[in-house]
Chains A and B, each alone.
Chain A
Amino acid sequence: MTTSVSSLVTTTDSVLDVRNLQVSFPSEAGLVKAVRGIDFSLRAGETLALVGESGSGKSVTATSILGLLPTSAQVTGSIRLDGRELIGLSDRDYSKIRGKDIGMVFQDPLSALTPVFSIGTQLIEALQVHQKLDDAKARARALELLDLVGIPDPKRRIDAFPHEFSGGMRQRAVIAMAIANDPKVIIADEPTTALDVTIQAQVLDVLKKAQEVTGAAILMITHDLGVVAGMADQVTVMYAGKPVEAGASDSVFYEPRMPYSIGLLSAVPRLDDGGRRALTPVEGNPPSMVDLPKGCPFAARCPIAVDVCRETEPELKVVDDSGLRSACHRSAEIGADLPREGMFPTPELPTWEGETDREGRPQVLAVDNLIKHFPLVKGQVFKRRIGTVKAVDGLSFDIREGETFALVGESGCGKTTTLLEILDLPTKQVGSVTVLGKETKSMSGKDRRGLRRDVQVVFQDPMASLDSRMPIGDILAEPLKTHGWDKDRIHARVPELLSLVGLLPEHAERYPSEFSGGQRQRIGIARALALEPKLIVLDEPVSALDVSIQAGVINLLDELKVKLGLSYLFVAHDLSVIRHIADRVAVMYLGRIVEQGDAETVFTSPMHPYTQALLSAVPLPDPRKERERQRILLTGDLPSPADVPSGCRFRTRCPKFLSLVESDAERCRTEDPASEAVAADHTSACHYSAALEVV
């Protein structure tokens, strides 16, 4: 297949050339063909994004370019860096290239830095390994680099240790190391996945700047189509170890010719996409890489598959004038006879038939002025209190029947503490938690147990939330047994629950490890539904799932809510997901709700500067919009909840605060803004609330 393709790709001025790269690993089950032939070229200053779901072979491709694959891996094909063949190079020769000609930025900035050496030492080491620099010069260069990536006060911070840096700062330091030796190529493997949106926006900015300074090509690996739209010039979509679509960013986003790319794009929840509606899931799961079916690997999930798709695997070939290459037998018809819109069926969601007026519906959960402070203590024998972590600092909200209430905020803002505090049904706390009209403080032990039936929880990580040693049937039966159901009723209920979440009753005898992530999350939901609760607390329920699977789970949640009359307390950091599922939203910052109200209102006319910054930081899967958008970049990181700023707690990062005249700013410094109604069902805690359209 390479002959037809390589002649069409310009290879003259490219710094990195990958030709027919194939990687396979031996495993117990057979040979895992992780990458089954990929070609691409990278020119200086260009950004190529490799997109795909987990297991599609994108990380393996990056690792093989770095020569960091385990020795058991079989690599064939060709990787040329500036004309020099890299495959087959000895580890010693490779070490001279890694970190010098190829820079790396990994996903987890914490594990990418050695905790026992200071940032400066590690940066200087990276410099001195490849360049002949004396200590003083290396240090000067390190300071320059840290300044370049936007670390404030580099002279002081250079001797700090990784744990003294926040996640965003660490990633900046890693980028500084990656560009230390003026690399030709920077490989960024999910560089912002572990970061919050506002930090992600900062880091992507730094990455762009680093590219401008060094003129390096960037190979970016990510699953986030929004990030791709903002960063990439070229996009390659991978599926089952092979590129299925490759071309200029605009062509892939606006005129894809391969059903998988179309499905992926339509499954992404979008922030700019008016309000609540069902998402379009891509049914099924990716095939096993050990035992690939005959024909197109996507055929089983493809809505337009024909007989030939199940017989022969399509080749990647140029399909239009822009040079877009697609691997689909029907690519010529797509966009012409086969419209992209509606190629994947979008399920109809049932509509809420109960009382539409919010005030008329019964209250399921009411939280009033909830406070959770943790003491900071020091000393082994005599414990002294040296401070207070104000994790949750006066939170009030309520949830009505049939409503999805979303709590949004960056990590460390107190979302999870709030959840756990509600789930604990606390006796000793400041403020009150009222579940179904009963205050938790004055409840007896028996009432408390009874109330557990009505409040259930679904966790983030579908792997960790199911006991891997228990068959599914037992997992689902556990809540029922606990609340005294007899055996016959349990046996009738388990298959019922499984079919409710779209699984088969036979699955009851299998173990969680036999299911994919999306299916496991469905099991988690089924367990939460077992006792017919009124309120389900969802802690980031889809953030660990792939986009195409995520859409199905969100739809399921939406449908169950209407069918069973549930209420959700939904905690997430992904604003696009929330836009699709939430009826009401509360934005949290440092243990407080800064803005709260009807989801539609908050998303279209956010009043609080923090909400505005948060929304503007979310990348859209739309290259044209991304290019036009003005980002409100927040400076710095979330302050520590142990040291909350005086007055308005957001003022240290607030873009509005900086634009105020001194007399107005004084008010932000001294007076803590109270939540004020700015419209019907819309409150904002800012002295100078003003609407701003940011999406």
Chain B
Amino acid sequence: MTTTDASTLSQVEEPKVRRSRGRGALLVRRFARNRLALVGLGILVLLLVGAYVLPSFLPWSYTQNDWNALGVAPNASHPFGTNHPGVDMLALTMRGLQKSLVIGLVGGPLTTAVAALVGASAGYFGGWVDRILMWILELMLVVPSFLLLAIIAPRLSHGTWLIFVVVLAAFGWMITARVVRSMTQTLKDREYVLAARYMGVNPMVIIVRHILPNVASILIVDATIQVGAIVLSETGLSYFGFGIQPPDVSLGTLISDGEPDATTSPWMFFFPAGFLILMGLCTAFIGDGLRDAFDPTAAGAKARVKKAKGSSDQEPMVELASTSIVVEEGTAS
């Protein structure tokens, strides 16, 4: 029915005026079909709210020491127990979560964004742009980042955490950028990219609209890994005296502080570690959902059709809000 011939073509009825949803709306809808991703998103929002709102309702703050309870196990007044100096673990974990969530959620995607932009530009434009970007990239790879950070950090010690995140991101993008570059090189000669070019579309728009969505799966996986990696690399820096400094805490510093006591006083280690894992899981679920939403062939995001049983003359029922998707026999091959 879809291959209408020329004779019926001329009599095609007036098109119904109905706004078709663009890519953005479709992505949201496809994302929403993934239950696990929604759960992940929900928990992540809960964590954010908890980390920022909960501390003001707690009897203890993360700077206070309860001298009557040094290193006690979880109990009624300290649900997560306390550490050796008697600081409430719940307050500490929430404070740590605040920092880590922000650093991870901003830093991870930022790293990937830098990688995507540099990699795609180098691959798409080629020539001198490619050469210069690759020189910078290789330089960043061979120079030990800790050395550079050690030089930069003292000058940034009075800056905000935002600068810290940017610095962390600046040292994590190189490998992904190389992968994106080589993927772009194969994509840029695809006919749809050529078609866009001959339409007169701006090169940067082509990169954002055609190249990046087609490497989205690797970018999303990369971003979710980077979230965890950045939280942990922040710990390493804190250990060297840069980044989060006492009395302020992050999940990373809490984990490294609690590590020696993991077997004897597990609450000092497992609560912060548990939250880090929870955070990682949530981002992974969201990442999976996003990847499926971007990938039209992914089964998880497709509109599900309930086959009407029995009589074949009954219209197939379409689940969910996808009222506009009419599933016809034989059109999708």
Does residue A672 face the partner (Cβ distance < 8 Å to B)? no
The 10 A-B residue pairs with the shortest CB-CB distance, nearest first, are: A502-B4, A511-B296, A452-B200, A508-B20, A495-B15, A465-B191, A347-B6, A459-B191, A347-B7, A473-B20
B118 nearest CB across to chain A (Å) = 21
Across the interface, do B7 and A467 meet the contact criterion of CB distance under 8 Å? no
Across the interface, do A423 and B2 meet the contact criterion of CB distance under 8 Å? no
Across the interface, do A464 and B329 meet the contact criterion of CB distance under 8 Å? no
Instruction: Write out the residue numbers on chain A whose beta carbons fall within 8 Å of the beta carbon of B135.
Output: none
Instruction: Write out the residue numbers on chain A whose beta carbons fall within 8 Å of the beta carbon of B195.
Output: 457, 459, 465, 524, 527
Q: Which of A278, A495, A524 contacts B16 (CB 8 A)?
A: A495
- Central interface residue in B3, B191, B332, by most chain A CB within 10 Å: B3
Binds B, one of A154-162, A475-483, A612-620: A475-483
Q: Which of A285, A456, A491, A512 contacts B19 (CB 8 A)?
A: A491
Instruction: Write out the residue numbers on chain B whose beta carbons fall within 8 Å of the beta carbon of A519.
Output: 2-3, 331
Across the interface, do A510 and B19 meet the contact criterion of CB distance under 8 Å? no
Does residue A636 face the partner (Cβ distance < 8 Å to B)? no
Q: Could you tell me which B residues sit within 8 Å of A by CB distance?
A: 1-9, 12-13, 15-23, 26, 190-192, 194-196, 198-202, 205, 209-210, 213-214, 216, 294-297, 299, 324-326, 329-333
- Central interface residue in B7, B8, B16, by most chain A CB within 10 Å: B7
Chain B residue at minimal CB-CB distance from A480: B199
Instruction: Write out the residue numbers on chain B whose beta carbons fall within 8 Å of the beta carbon of A471.
Output: 20-23, 26
- Mostly, the B contact residues are loop
Q: CA A159 – CA B205 in complex, angstroms?
A: 50
Task: For chain A, residues 271 to 319, give those with C-beta under 8 angstroms from any C-beta of chain B.
Answer: 278, 281, 283-288, 293, 300
Q: CA A219 – CA B9 in complex, angstroms?
A: 41
Q: CA A287 – CA B16 in complex, angstroms?
A: 29
Chain B residue at minimal CB-CB distance from A455: B198
A212 nearest CB across to chain B (Å) = 41
Ordered by A's residue number, 29 sampled pairs between the chains whose C-beta atoms are within 8 Å are A281-B5, A285-B330, A288-B330, A457-B195, A457-B198, A459-B195, A465-B192, A465-B195, A467-B210, A468-B214, A469-B213, A469-B216, A471-B20, A474-B23, A478-B201, A482-B200, A482-B201, A495-B18, A502-B9, A502-B12, A504-B2, A507-B2, A509-B21, A511-B296, A512-B296, A513-B296, A517-B333, A552-B3, A559-B6
- Central interface residue in B8, B205, B216, B324, by most chain A CB within 10 Å: B324
B81 nearest CB across to chain A (Å) = 49
Q: Knowing that A467-B213, A506-B324, A527-B195 touch, tell me 13 more A-B residue pairs with CB under 8 angstroms.
A: A284-B3, A467-B210, A469-B210, A470-B23, A471-B22, A474-B23, A483-B199, A499-B13, A506-B326, A508-B20, A509-B26, A514-B331, A549-B3
Interface code A482-504, partner B: CB below 8 Å = 1, 0 otherwise?
A: 11000000011011101110111
Task: For chain A, residues 349 to 390, give those with C-beta under 8 angstroms from any C-beta of chain B.
Answer: 349
Q: Could you tell me which A residues sit within 8 Å of B by CB distance?
A: 28, 55, 278, 281, 283-288, 293, 300, 345, 347-349, 423, 448-449, 452-453, 455-457, 459-461, 464-471, 473-474, 477-479, 482-483, 491-492, 494-496, 498-500, 502-519, 522, 524, 527, 531, 549, 552, 555-556, 558-559
Across the interface, do B15 and A505 meet the contact criterion of CB distance under 8 Å? yes
Q: CA A502 – CA B6 in complex, angstroms?
A: 8
Instruction: Write out the residue numbers on chain A whose beta carbons fall within 8 Å of the beta carbon of B8.
Output: 502
Q: Which of A460, A506, A515 contacts B333 (CB 8 A)?
A: A515
Q: CA A110 – CA B57 in complex, angstroms?
A: 72
Instruction: Write out the residue numbers on chain A whose beta carbons fall within 8 Å of the beta carbon of B9.
Output: 500, 502, 556, 559
Instruction: Write out the residue numbers on chain B whose beta carbons fall within 8 Å of the beta carbon of A502.
Output: 2-5, 8-9, 12
Across the interface, do A453 and B200 meet the contact criterion of CB distance under 8 Å? yes
Q: Which of A285, A464, A506 contacts B190 (CB 8 A)?
A: A464
Q: CA A508 – CA B209 in complex, angstroms?
A: 17
Instruction: Write out the residue numbers on chain A whose beta carbons fall within 8 Å of the beta carbon of B332.
Output: 513-516
Instruction: Write out the residue numbers on chain B whose beta carbons fall within 8 Å of the beta carbon of A496.
Output: 15
Across the interface, do A505 and B20 meet the contact criterion of CB distance under 8 Å? yes
Instruction: Write out the residue numbers on chain B whose beta carbons fall within 8 Å of the beta carbon of A457.
Output: 194-195, 198
- Central interface residue in A28, A456, A482, by most chain B CB within 10 Å: A482
Across the interface, do A509 and B196 meet the contact criterion of CB distance under 8 Å? no
Across the interface, do A456 and B198 meet the contact criterion of CB distance under 8 Å? yes
A682 nearest CB across to chain B (Å) = 30
A303 nearest CB across to chain B (Å) = 12
Across the interface, do B209 and A503 meet the contact criterion of CB distance under 8 Å? no
Q: Which of B19, B213, B299, B329 contacts A470 (CB 8 A)?
A: B213
Instruction: Write out the residue numbers on chain A whose beta carbons fall within 8 Å of the beta carbon of B194.
Output: 457, 459
Instruction: Write out the residue numbers on chain A whose beta carbons fall within 8 Å of the beta carbon of B202.
Output: 482
Across the interface, do B6 and A349 meet the contact criterion of CB distance under 8 Å? yes
Q: Which of B21, B213, B325, B331 contacts A516 (CB 8 A)?
A: B331
Chain A residue at minimal CB-CB distance from B4: A502
Instruction: Write out the residue numbers on chain A whose beta carbons fall within 8 Å of the beta carbon of B18.
Output: 495, 505
Across the interface, do A473 and B330 meet the contact criterion of CB distance under 8 Å? no
Across the interface, do A461 and B191 meet the contact criterion of CB distance under 8 Å? yes
Instruction: Write out the residue numbers on chain B whose beta carbons fall within 8 Å of the beta carbon of A558.
Output: 6
**Beyond A284-B330, A466-B192, is A278–B214 a contact (Cβ under 8 Å)?**
no
Across the interface, do A509 and B3 meet the contact criterion of CB distance under 8 Å? no
Across the interface, do A552 and B21 meet the contact criterion of CB distance under 8 Å? no
